[in-house]
């Protein structure tokens, strides 16, 4: 079996296209997107008159001249994971001063982008025989579920048990434990554990399943993020790291010992690291920034090789568990 896994693309056009196109290029059986599909902000491109536009991206202000320059900047913004929006000073003022207007515009940009992504996937995956599963993460608004449901090739995996092969299933949950940002799909660990257990209950054999759970387990080494002050500023210039993963995810992994776990959520993850819980579960985080951001692992599952391809862009990380030997 050959799997291609990516996570936390956060609105990046190039990440989505690499994920979808990677299926055919690497000749995989299954594509899996672990969560957080959508971006976090709109970047306005503001008309200044005389065919000039002003844009501020990553705190750098740029004056653009002509349609071609605007088109190139819009592509750059999309690849960065933001939503470009061409506007003028009057509309900016109207959006700023009208309650709810910015939220409505953001939702509009999210859904339009995702509709374009789904159309791209349907075009690329049609007739390939490649299965594609996506699971919205804690940062994703609930409206994305309806857009995913329109696809002919991309299947919504949230809360479901998916049959990957005759003997192996996948359970998926994109919800997370509480974050400082009060995101869309987060809840206390007690509720999250009940949610995950309800999904696992549908599986025939959880020990032979893939656990596609968005947050990493607490204290696993995959979940270290900068410690924050009350006003959400990193302490010690971001050098002080604390575990922020999910106790719920830790509990279900310790209980069921799945054959493979796939996790994202925490962007500050390290490269590759092996850890062992008391019961001997092998834990590895993969940060595949080599080979054009793709890394390949071979997992021996009941003496049968599984090929796991993982995609990492500069701000992303992927982790996985395995009870069997893992060979790089």
Give the lowest-confidence range in 41-55, 195-209, 279-293. 279-293
Asked if residue 309 and residue 262 are part of one domain, the reply reads yes
pLDDT in the model for residue 287: 34
Asked if residue 47 and residue 32 are part of one domain, the reply reads no
Q: Give me the CATH number covering residue 123.
A: 3.60.21.10
Asked if residue 30 and residue 52 are part of one domain, the reply reads no
pLDDT in the model for residue 304: 57
Q: For residue 267, is pLDDT > 90? A: no
Q: Band the pLDDT of 276: cuts 50, 70, 90.
A: very low
pLDDT in the model for residue 279: 41
Task: Tell me the pairing of strands 326-327 and 294-301.
Answer: antiparallel
Asked if residue 216 and residue 79 are part of one domain, the reply reads no
Asked if residue 91 and residue 27 are part of one domain, the reply reads no
Which SS3 state, helix, strand or coil, does residue 64 take?
A: strand
Pull the structure tokens for residue 182. Answer: 């009060």
∠ CA 7-222-40, nearest 5°, is: 40
Q: Domain ends where: 68, 98, 128?
A: 98
Q: For residue 251, is pLDDT > 70? A: yes
Q: Using CA atoms, how far apart are residues 17 and 24, in angstroms rounded to an integer?
A: 12
Q: For residue 35, is pLDDT > 50? A: yes
Asked if residue 125 and residue 179 are part of one domain, the reply reads yes
Q: For residue 66, is pLDDT > 70? A: yes
Mean pLDDT of 108-113: 97
pLDDT in the model for residue 271: 43
Domain that holds residue 57: 42-98
Give the lowest-confidence range in 104-113, 199-208, 224-233. 224-233
Q: Domain ends where: 64, 98, 132?
A: 98
Give the count of domains, the chain. Answer: 2
The model's pTM is 0.86
The stretches of the chain forming alpha helices (DSSP H) are 13-25, 67-80, 89-97, 101-125, 143-148, 189-200, 247-256, 290-293
């Amino acid at each position: 079996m050959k799997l291609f896994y990516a996570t936390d693309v956060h609105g990046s056009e190039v990440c989505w296209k690499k994920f979808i196109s990677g299926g055919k290029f690497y000749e995989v059986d299954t594509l899996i997107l672990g969560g957080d599909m959508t971006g976090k902000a709109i970047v306005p491109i503001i008309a200044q008159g005389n065919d000039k536009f002003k844009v501020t991206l990553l705190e750098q202000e740029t004056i653009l001249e002509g349609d071609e320059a605007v088109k190139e900047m819009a592509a750059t913004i999309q690849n960065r994971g933001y939503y470009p929006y061409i506007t003028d000073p009057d509309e900016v003022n109207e959006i700023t001063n009208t309650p709810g207007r910015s939220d409505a515009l953001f939702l509009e940009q999210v859904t339009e982008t995702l509709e374009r992504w789904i159309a791209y996937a349907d075009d690329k995956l049609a007739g390939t025989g490649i299965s594609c599963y996506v699971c919205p993460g804690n940062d994703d608004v609930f409206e994305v579920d309806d857009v995913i449901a329109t696809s002919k090739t991309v299947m919504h995996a949230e809360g479901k048990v998916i049959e990957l092969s005759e003997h192996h299933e996948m359970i998926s949950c994109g919800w997370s434990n509480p974050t400082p940002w009060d995101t869309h799909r987060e809840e206390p660990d007690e509720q999250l554990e009940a949610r995950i257990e309800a999904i696992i209950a549908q599986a025939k054999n959880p020990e032979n399943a893939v656990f596609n759970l968005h947050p990493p387990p607490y204290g696993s080494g995959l979940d270290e993020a900068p410690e924050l002050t009350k006003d959400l500023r990193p302490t010690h210039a971001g050098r002080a790291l604390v575990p922020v993963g999910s106790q719920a995810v830790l509990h279900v992994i310790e209980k069921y010992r799945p054959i493979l776990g796939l996790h994202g959520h925490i962007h500050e993850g390290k490269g590759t690291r092996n850890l062992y819980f008391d019961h001997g579960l092998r834990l590895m985080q993969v940060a595949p920034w080599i080979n054009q951001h793709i890394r390949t692992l071979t997992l021996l599952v009941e003496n049968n090789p599984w090929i796991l391809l993982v995609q990492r862009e500069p701000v992303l990380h992927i982790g996985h568990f395995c009870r069997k030997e893992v060979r790089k």
